Structure 1
Amino acid sequence: MPLTLAAEFLMLAALWGASFLFARLAVADFGPLPTAAMRCAIGAAMLLPVVVVRGQVAELRRHGWVAGWIGVLNAGIPFVLFTFAVQYIDTGVTSLLNATVPLFGAMVAWVWLKDRPNGSRVLGLALGFSGMALLALRTGMGSASGWALAAGLLGCFCYALAGSATRVHLTGVPAMVTAAASLVGATLVLAIPAWWLAPAHWPSASSWLAVLGLGVLCTGLAYALFFRIIDRIGPARALTVTYIVPVFAVTYGALFLGERLTSWMLGAGALVLIGTALSSGFVGLRGRARQPS
C-alpha cells in the first residue's frame, strides 16, 4: 500500500474512532436524538457541495429519494442507537460492537441476497457471535448497560440491512451521491423529534465542540475520505478500516475518559474481530489441496 494511502487509511480509522469519544461528550447535554440529528445535518451540509462540484446533481435528483430512505437505516437510526449506548458502556466496548457490522452484513446477505457463506465465513459468524455473547455476559443484559449493548448491536444490524439495500437498489450510483442523500434523508426524519427533544438548557461549549467534531470530522470529512479510498482500492479493502477503528477508540477512551481495558474485553474483542475478518472474507482458511486421481 502506498505511503499516502496508508496515511489516509489510518486517518480515517482515527476519525471514526474519535466519533465514540465525541458522542460521549455531546450526549450529556444534547441527548441521543438531537446529537444524531445534528451530526447528520452537518455531514450533509459538507457533502452536498462536493456532489455539486462533481457535477452529480442529476444523479442526486434521480436516486435521492431511495438513498434518503436507506440513509435512515444507514445513518439516522444507528447514530441515535450508538449515541444512546455510549452513555452506559465504555467507548471501547461500543467501538467493538461497531466492528461487527461486516459480521451482520454477511448474515443479512446470506438470508436476503442468498449469498451463502463458505466454511471459513460460517466459522467467522460463530466466533463473532461468541465474542458478542461474552461481552453481553460481562455487561449484564438486564441492566442499563445491557440495554446499551443491545442498542449498539441493533445499530450494527441496521447498517447491515442498509448495505444489502444499497446493493439491491443503488448499484451503479456514485458513492458520494449515496452518502450525501443518505445523510439528507436521515436529517429530515430526525429533525422534528430532535427539535421536540432539544435540551431545555443551553449546552456547554465542550458539548458544542463535540457535536461539531462529530459532524465535521467524523462524518463529513470521514465520509469524503472513505469514498476517496474506495475509488483507489475498492469497497472490500476499504472496509477493512473497521478492524482498526477500535484501537483508536480504546486509546481515546483511556486517555481522555479514564476507561480501563480488561482482559475480558480483550478476549471478547479478539473473538469479535477475528470472526468479523473471517465472515467478511477478509481472511479465509485454506483447505487441503485435492490430490489428482
Structure 2
Amino acid sequence: MNDGSRGWLGSFIALAAIWGASFLFMRMGAAEFGPFATAGLRVGLAALVLAPALWLQRPASGMTARRWAWLIATGAFNSGIPFALFSYAVLHQPTGLTSILNATAPLFGALVAWAWLGERPDISRCIGLAVGFGGVALIAQGGGRLDGSIGLLPVLACLGATLCYGIGATMARLHLKGLSPLFSTAGSLAGATLVLALPTVLDWPARPPGTSAWMAVLALALLCSALAYFLYYRLIQRAGAARAMTVTFLIPVFGVSYGAVLLQEPVTATTIVGGLVVLAGTLLASGLVRLPRPHEV
C-alpha cells in the first residue's frame, strides 16, 4: 500500500458515520426550526466556514456570470432542495428509513444521465434500476410514519431529494468542469444559501428554538457539510472516485443504527429486506457490480 492510499479506510468509515448521523441531526433541528430553516441554516453556516476557500481560489477559477449562475443552480439541486426535503421527511418517518432511501441517489444519477446526456445504460444497469426501484416500492409499502401508519409523501420527498442529487451531479459535469472540488463545494453551498434565504425567513419559527436544536443545526453545518465534504474529497484523492462513491452503501448502516439506538425506532424485516434490495440495485445501476454476460457464465 503506497503513502497516497494509506489510511483511506479510516476516512471512509468516518464519512459514513458522519453522513449517517445527519438524518438524526435533521430530525432534532427540523422539530423546532422547520424543514426550510433547518436546511437554510445548514448550508448558510457551512458556506461561511468555506468562504475563505471560495475567496482565495476565485482569481484562478475563471468564473463568468454564466458559470456563477450554473454554480448557484447546482448548489440548489445538490444541497438546498434535497436538504429541505430530507428535513421534512424525517419529521414524518423514521430516520433510518430515510437514510436507506438516500442510497437511491445513484439510481437517479443513472436515469438523469440517460435522459439528459444520452448515456444509455447497459442491460446490467437496467436490471439494477428495476431492482432498486422495486426495493423502494417494498419499503414504501412496508415502511411507515412515526405513528405506525403508511406515509407515501415522506417517501416521495426522499425520492425527490435523490432525483435532485442526480440533476445536480449532471449539471456539475456539464458546466463546472475545471473548477477545484473545494471551490465547487464552497460555491454551491453559497448558491444554496441564496436559494433558501427567503424560504428560511418565511419558515422561521415563532417560538425560539432550544439549545439542542441549535446544536443539531451546527452539527449539520460544521460536521455533516463542511467537514464531511473535506473528508469526501480527500477520500477521492486517496482511494479513487469509484471507491469513494461506495460510501453511499455504508451510510444506511449507521443511519438505521443511530435511529434504533438513540430514537428507539423500530427496524422491521421489510425495511431491512427492502434496504438490501435497494443497495443491490444501486450497485448494479452504478456499474460497480455487473451481471455476467451470457458467454461469461
**Superposition TM-score tier, normalisation by shorter sequence:** over 0.9
* 2:97–2:143 Cα contact (<8 Å) kept: no
Q: Please point out which of 264, 267, 277 is paired with 2:270.
A: 264
- Alignment partner of 1:125 out of 121, 126, 129: 129
Q: Please, which runs of 5 or more residues in structure 2 have no aligned partner? A: none
TM-score between both structures, scaled by the size of structure 2: 0.92
* SS of corresponding position for 2:43: helix
Q: Is the 8 A contact 1:139 1:146 kept in 2?
A: no
Equivalents in 2 of 1:70, 1:174: separation in Å?
Answer: 15
Task: Please state if 1:59 is matched with 2:61.
Answer: yes
Give the counterpart letter for 2:288 in structure 1. Answer: F
1:219 is aligned to: 225
Q: Distance in 2 between matches of 1:144 and 1:24?
A: 19
Question: Which of residues 103, 106, 110 in structure 1 aligns to 2:114?
Answer: 110
Query: Is the Cα–Cα contact under 8 Å of residues 51 and 57 in structure 1 kept in the other structure?
Result: no
Contact 1:127 1:275 in 2 (8 A): yes
Deviation at 1:207, TM superposition (A): 0.4
1:57 Cα offset (Å): 4.4
* 2:20 counterpart (14, 17, 21): 17
Q: Corresponding residue for 2:95?
A: 91
Runs of 4+ aligned residues of structure 1 deviating over 6 Å after TM superposition are: none
Give the counterpart letter for 1:268 in structure 2.
G
Q: Deviations over 1:29-84 (max 9, x none)?
A: 1000000000001111122223445x454417444332111111111110000000
Q: Does 1:101 align with 2:105?
A: yes
Shift of 1:111: 1.4
Name which of 151, 154, 165 aligns with 1:159.
165
Q: Percent identity?
A: 45
Q: Is the 8 A contact 2:89 2:158 kept in 1?
A: yes
* 1:136 paired residue among 118, 136, 140: 140
**Inter-partner Cα distance in structure 2 for 1:6 and 1:226:** 12
CA positional deviation for 1:93? 0.6
Q: 1:230 aligns with which of 236, 256, 259?
A: 236
Q: Do the aligned partners of 2:8 and 2:239 also contact (CA within 8 Å) in 1? A: no
Change (3 A) 1:149 1:251: same
- What is the deviation of 1:3? 5.2
Structure 2 CA distance for aligned equivalents of residues 9 and 114 of structure 1: 32
Rounded to whole Å, the distance in 2 between the matches of 1:3 and 1:173 is: 26
> How has the CA–CA distance of structure 1 residues 210 and 190 changed in structure 2, closer, same or farther, with 3 Å as cutoff?
same
- Counterpart amino acid of residue 254 in structure 2: F
CA distance in 2 between partners of 1:58 and 1:196 (Å):
37
Matched residue, 2:261:
255
Q: Is the 8 A contact 2:140 2:155 kept in 1?
A: yes
Shift of 1:176: 1.3
Letter in 1 for 2:94: D
Are residue 38 (structure 1) and residue 41 (structure 2) matched? yes
Deviates further, 13-22 or 220-229: 220-229
User: For the structure 1 residues 145 and 57, does the alpha-carbon distance in structure 2 shift closer, same or farther, using more than 3 Å as the test?
Assistant: farther
Give the distance between the partners of 1:290 and 1:6, measured in 2 at CA. Answer: 32
CA distance in 2, matches of 1:94, 1:115: 28
Whichever residue aligns with residue 199 of structure 1, its letter is P
- TM-score relative to the length of structure 1: 0.93
Q: Using the alignment, how far apart are the partners of 2:151 and 2:44 within structure 1?
A: 28
Secondary structure, aligned partner of 1:128: helix
Change (3 A) 1:200 1:235: same
Q: List gaps (5 residues or longer) in structure 1.
A: none
Distance 1:47 1:96, change over 3 A: same
- Matching residue of 1:192: 198
CA RMSD between the two structures: 1.9
